[in-house]
A and B are shown apart, each in its own frame.
Chain A
Amino acid sequence: MNIGAKQSARKARGVFISLLAGSVISFSTGVYAKKIDPNPFPSTYQAREHVDTVVTNVHVLTAQKSGDNREIENGWVALSQGKIVGFGEGEVGPEFKRFNAVHGEGRWLTPGIIDVHSHLGNYAAPGYRGHSDGNESTAPTTAQVWTEHSVWPQDPQFPLALEGGVTSLQILPGSANLIGGRSVVLKNVSSRTVQGMKFPNAPYGLKMACGENPKRVYGSKGRSPATRMGNVAGYREAWIKASEYKEKWDKYEAELAEYNLKGADAQPVKEGVQEKKAPEPPGRNLELDTLKEVLEGKIRIHNHCYRADEMVQMIDVAKEFGYVITSFQHAVEAYKIADILAENNICSAMWADWSRFKLESFDGIEENIALVDKAGACAIVHSDSEISIQRLNQEAAKAMAAGNRMGMALTEADAIEWLTLNAAASLGIDDRTGSIEIGKMADLVLWDGNPFSVYTRTDQVYIDGNLLFDRKAGLRPVTDFELGHRDWVVQ
């Protein structure tokens, strides 16, 4: 690509936009747009080679939404080059006979669990101030922060989650702020770098928070927001700024396109007539860049919100500014508005049985998840806990049983979706993982029994076909932190 002297001069004049390799557009006039790099911290994760494997004689929960293959009692699943390449009932398909066989012996196989709400890495263990990297609680809106810059890949909690069958997880900033910053979706793999854990091409999320936390944090500092009405004013002010910023950029891009179009057909400039100047790009603002991408539908909103009334307020804020809420996080009162959540196509990521740890969680009930599911809304079991992330299967079991006690007919095939496919859908990665379907990532968990039993543990965990945890073989990643004082973690 030829970049002429004029272009270099233009660059030197302070068009401080970074260069995305391969995206430089050159025009005949020499005026070009250097796009803002939308992905300056790209994933470097690459699945390793693994032997072709077929897990046989397993009770498979595929997490498929519908059809005849949601549950296969005597099933098999074949993995090759990181992908699921076959699955079925009974005898293994002939093309997979040569694969290395793992004998399931009646154990259960499910897609890997996906936790949409975790603070592993940004609130790493041990939990001292030096590891407190989850809340940039210095201003109520901090859309400019990206939580991947807080994640410590050596957090010893990652392997604990892996033992619990968690293969992918979304790390979110905390809820101190109205707008807390970008989330990041990770594969739960051992890596020296965060980039080496990043789920390739997963959409970004943006954390927003309702209710008690932001108003407590800032109210106690004597500044807004100190109330829930202050919270809503804060969101709206941020979105007004973001809308104006987006308008400026849209205008600039339109003018640039027009300029370049005319430039291409331009006649040689006459003597003495000044050349029409190329449009100047607006100044870049890291905070508003992220908000603009939300308005463009590129970044997903994951909104921490407990109370039913507040969730409905947030739906109106989103409509006012033309963005979409992908999920409510915690959604302790989702059961009160499950119909509205279904109408608006918003997921709820919930705990099975937490309540009364603060006022806005006073009305938590054990039937919440089941009631949301029953209303036809997207239900997800999340952890927000380094303890619960190790047993999300059991949390789903509690929710399933609570629903059934009130007369629903929920099965394991239903409950597995709350842990896998629905979670993947809310993160925008359900085209690649979250269920057992041909062509999807081979992210799988082999359980030593029914995963919805308290007595069941994981035997094996596969990510992209790689066996990364094997209890019986003593295979488990050991973080740098654990070396020398937690050696027993591998037995």
Chain B
Amino acid sequence: MLIINAKIVTAGENGIIESGSLLIKGSKISQVSSGKTVGSGPDRISGLKVVDAEGAVITPGLFDSGTILALTEVEGGTRGTDFKADKTDFGAAFKVGMAVNRHSSMIPMVRASGVTSVIVRPSAGSQNIAGQSAILSLAEHANLLNDGNAMFVDLRERSRVFSGGTRAIAMTKLEAALDEAMVYKKNKKAYRSGKLKQLALSELDLIALEPVIDGDKPIAVYVDRAADIEQVIKLLGNYQLILVGAREGWMVKELIAKHAIPVVLNVLDNIPSTFDQLGARLDNAALLASAGVTIAFMTEDIFTETKSLTQAAGVAVANGLPWDSAINAITVNPAEIWGSVVSGKLESGQIADLVMWDGDPLEVTSKPTRVMIHGEWVSLKSRQTLLRDRYADLSDKSSAFGYR
């Protein structure tokens, strides 16, 4: 398939191609070029399905760095959800990926906003080590790209309840857990033959922590307060640390930059709603990026006030972040931070997840007109569009609404 006459936001080394074309072969991008021609000339086009973008903007498929998508159909008021384990010994071994409903009717809704990959993450429910997240691709038959891509830890004010009521103990316990994982790793035989002293964590949790201490799996820490960020960097700076939330990140931006720690932000939440986030502000993204920190954006709440990832990116721009950096924060940066096989870039050889827009992709008035995931155009229909169509004309009394 050949897509011509597009303004291509590559999120890669080629930057923005004002008028270019994309050649898609199978699930991958075969070529990205400026102008209409591909390869040796127009004759190569014959036999290809050609889509004229008519000047529309095409971006990589967007990546939301924090959701509970497909772990619950409704945010609240139902019989529990699958993103939080309230009464369990499971910590590090809890993997939300196993509970993902890839047929969720919520997925088409989110996909229609141009998001093609999301982090599905656990919430701390019984201990500060919340469990492992997954990367979910929002193709029509949604699939997990990476189950257990990162270990989540929550060290915010609200989660100190899991450590006797103080985050000091939460941090000490976390350090002890990582130490135990090291002891376990080095003494597996002794552990299994019962010769090793009893460890506090279960074996399942110890196994789950192994790739974290090996530096193979990111450890994503929910933390907002600047003082806590400093502690966390001291404690976990040698691992693959990701700061999530970091509402006061701008206060310690040089430290974060110095350790090259990526930060995942909810741009729109600038409310001093706890003493942890008195420093919450809309230009946190701009301040961190200007210090050289790699940033990615998450909606956190896909149901209500911060549900729009593109709006978040646009607001970050309005508050000082360069437009290209905002695009990167919802495409290539999260792909890199979270270790996705979809690169978030429109470059040859990459998996073809892309979005065609009816305007500037970050504008609140814009929407995708077409979405491609793994080389296939996907449907933009959802329960919501079906409801709209059913009730679009109330003056039509010809049949009961249930038959429309």
Contact = CB atoms under 8 A, between A and B. Distances in A.
A172 to B, nearest CB: 17
A401 B272 contact: no
Interface string B362-404: 1111110000000000000001110110011011000001000
B303 A357 contact: yes
A312 interface: no
B273 A356 contact: no
Given A125-B272, A391-B315, A485 B364 contact: no
Contacts of A391: 268, 311, 315
B202 interface: no
A357 B305 CA distance: 11
A327 to B, nearest CB: 20
B274 A456 contact: no
B193 interface: no
Contacts of B317: 454-455
Overall SS of chain B's interface: loop
A326 to B, nearest CB: 22
Interface string A369-407: 001000100000000011110110010011011000110
Nearest to A386: B271
Main secondary structure of the interface of A (DSSP, over half): loop
B179 interface: no
Interface in B264-304: 268-275, 278-279, 281, 303-304
Contact of B307 (A336, A354, A375, A405): A354
Nearest to A367: B388
A127 B273 contact: yes
Residue from B268, B269, B311, B387 with most neighbouring chain A CB atoms (10 Å)? B387
A486 B304 CA distance: 27
Given A354-B305, A457-B318, A335 B269 contact: no
B391 A335 contact: yes
Contact of A156 (B77, B272, B303, B315): B272
A157 B272 CA distance: 8
B364 A486 contact: no
A160 interface: yes
A158 to B, nearest CB: 12
Contact of A486 (B272, B318, B392): B272
B367 A401 contact: yes
B305 A385 contact: yes
Interface string A335-379: 111110000000000010111111101111111000100010000
Contacts of A405: 358, 367
A418 interface: no
Contacts of B363: 453-455
B303 A125 contact: no
A406 B305 contact: no
Interface string B143-156: 00000000000000
Closest A-B pairs by Cβ, 4 of them: A454-B314, A401-B365, A357-B303, A357-B75
Interface of A: 125-128, 156-157, 160, 212, 216, 335-339, 351, 353-359, 361-367, 371, 375, 385-388, 390-391, 394, 397-398, 400-401, 405-406, 452-457, 482, 485-486, 488
